[in-house]
Amino acid sequence: MIERTPGALRRLHEVGAFALDMDGTVYLGARVLPGAHDFVSRCRRDGIPFAMLTNNSSKSRREYGEKLARMGLDVGEDGVMTSGEATIRYLHREHPGRRVYLVATPSYEAEVREGGVPLAAGRSDADVAVLAFDTGLTFDKLVVLCDLVRDGKPFIATHPDFNCPVDGGYIPDVGSFLALVQASTGRRPDVIIGKPGRMMVAALCERWNLPAERIAYVGDRLYTDIAMAADSGMLGILVLSGETSLADLEGSPHQPDLVIDGLAELVELLGQRA
């Protein structure tokens, strides 16, 4: 463990909840990383809420919970936070009752309906435009979306990622769709919800009724995970089990509060809580 910010270890022992990146932190490919099971058990034993975060809004929280269960991590829906859930919370907070034209997969559309957000059928009855990661994106959907953006309707994107990693490479993600919309309309989204944006943090704070300073964020990427923690005031914990090495810290504008090898070391540190 390397404490890069004075008092970081003390803050770790006082946090009220944990948010975690998934790939590179909890698992790597199809392999659950050491300490992940023990971390879940420790949090449940101590009554500490936690959520595993993803920007991918093509699937519902339930589907992510099922995926983790197949890997042996039975965290349920409450153990997951997606940019999709954060978007639903944002819509209720900032655009309550307004009809949303949603570009999304059927899975996420169902979650939005279940979340109580009214959906528009098309351009004529839409108040807000929302672009999620739609793996069934059609030209007709793009036409309506671009029309609404040109009309000046509030325009929200679930997350900024340009590509989504899949077996064998990458597929275009929301950031790529946004580049197309901007080329056609001249507009960028008014709000992008997912990591490393502050709206993702706001959703966590709302879910747990905690200030950001009482939440620890654990991740393996400096430019998204640690950047979001530093920007919001969360305790930023870098794990060296994924993308980042110690050498990468030199000269990086995004610095963690704590550096640990992985979740197994975090479990050991949590065992020192009073």
29 confidence band (pLDDT: 50, 70, 90): confident
pLDDT digits (tens, 9 = 90+) for 97-152: 999 999 999 999 999 999 999 999 999 999 999 999 999 999 999 999 999 999 99
Give domain 97-192's CATH architecture.
Answer: 3-Layer(aba) Sandwich (3.40)
Domain boundaries, the chain: 2-55+195-270, 97-192
Residue 19, beta-bridge partner list: 51, 217
Specify the CATH superfamily of domain 2-55+195-270.
Answer: HAD superfamily/HAD-like (3.40.50.1000)
User: E strands along 96-147, which residues?
Assistant: 100-103, 128-131
23 confidence band (pLDDT: 50, 70, 90): confident
Q: Quote the CA–CA distance of 196 and 208 in Å, as a whole number.
A: 19
Q: Quote the CA–CA distance of 119 and 97 in Å, as a whole number.
A: 10
Q: In whole angstroms, how far apart are CA 225 and each of 12, 180, 219?
A: 17, 26, 5
Q: What angle do CA 135, 165, 36 make, to 5 degrees?
A: 115
pLDDT digits (tens, 9 = 90+) for 174-221: 999 999 999 999 999 999 999 998 999 999 999 999 999 999 999 998
Q: Quote the CA–CA distance of 255 and 89 in Å, as a whole number.
A: 29
- The torsion angle over the Cα atoms of residues 59, 105, 115 and 46, rounded to 10 degrees, is 10
